[in-house]
Amino acid sequence: METLTAAAVATLLLTKMIEKVGEKMGEKLPELGSKALEQIGKLKQALWRKAPETASAIERVTYQPELVEQQPEEYGIQVLTAKMELVTKQDAEVAEVVNALAAEVLPRIPQKVVQVMMVGIKGKSLTAQDLIQEAASGSTNVNQQMLKDVELEGDISLGNLSQKA
């Protein structure tokens, strides 16, 4: 998954598309908790006051998620996220709520980590020291590969190889 901006997180939560992100990762997302739900309520209120067109589009997608694919030019997640980002740039109150919501939710979203080190090496010999792959704390979908598809004609000397998830 790409890095999510605060506006993207807010848009995904408000449209309830955050579940789709979890499904794509093959994981059920954790419960948001009362603080996040409170922030979602505040954001909805602020959007209706400050950007009613954006609030209306987001609400339509909430109740008609098929619009995301049927009318992506108007209701696609990228379009809605761009609208949310514009509102956050133009209005400090909305920006504050969006950032608070993202701060509450982002740590709960599983992080997919893929680390690849020393793959596809061909040569006469190899010497390597202190190779470390370490996934960030909280990462739940980790794929680490080290020394894969190595073809050497001579010696191989390795030391201190470590993978931590």
pLDDT at 13: 77
Query: 126 and 85, same structural domain?
Result: no
Half-sphere exposure of 121 (CA within 13 A, CB side): 18
Query: 120 and 104, same structural domain?
Result: no
Query: 118 and 97, same structural domain?
Result: no
Query: 140 and 80, same structural domain?
Result: no
Query: 53 and 14, same structural domain?
Result: yes
Chain-wide mean pLDDT for the chain? Answer: 79
Q: How far apart are CA 18 and CA 127, in angstroms?
A: 45
pLDDT tens for 35-79 read: 878 888 899 999 999 999 999 999 898 888 888 889 999 998 889
Q: Are 54 and 83 in contact (CB under 8 A)?
A: yes
Domain that holds residue 79: 6-108
Phi/psi at 141 (nearest 5 deg)?
Answer: -125, 90
Quick one: average pLDDT of 75-88? 91
Could you tell me how many residues make up the chain? Answer: 165
Query: 56 and 25, same structural domain?
Result: yes
Structural domains in the chain (count): 2
Q: Which two tokens stand for residue 15?
A: 């449209």
